[in-house]
């Protein structure tokens, strides 16, 4: 007659192989609801904060606003380019 230990035939697992939930780090999940997706409700996205749900409007941008911003940025970077050229020239 062969005797079997109380834990069975396999040796007990070390601590590292326990259920992972007790070892979870306290890192909060990423916020949801501010991206564009097929699930968004029109111009509104839902942000969950704890047990409460809040609805915030998602801002919309027109093509003309994008073009205006591009023109503004283009001028800004053109002013910076001589400084970059000077800094990047081999001495």
**pTM to 2 decimals?**
0.22
What is the tally of helices (H) and strands (E) in the chain? 1, 2
Which residues does 43 contact at the CB level (< 8 Å), separation at least 6? 57, 58, 60
Q: What average pLDDT does the segment 57-86 reach?
A: 71
Q: Read off the pLDDT of residues 9-61 as tens digits, 9 standing for 90 and up.
A: 666 666 566 555 655 666 666 666 555 454 444 444 455 445 555 666 667 77
């Amino acid at each position: 007659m062969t005797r079997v230990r109380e834990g069975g035939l396999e040796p007990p697992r070390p601590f590292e192989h326990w259920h992972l939930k007790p070892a979870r780090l306290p890192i909060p999940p990423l916020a949801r609801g501010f991206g564009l997706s097929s699930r968004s409700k029109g111009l509104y996205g839902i942000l969950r904060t704890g047990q409460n749900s809040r609805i915030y409007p998602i801002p919309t941008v027109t093509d003309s606003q994008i073009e205006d911003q591009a023109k503004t940025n283009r001028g800004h970077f053109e002013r910076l380019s001589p400084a970059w050229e000077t800094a990047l020239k081999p001495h």
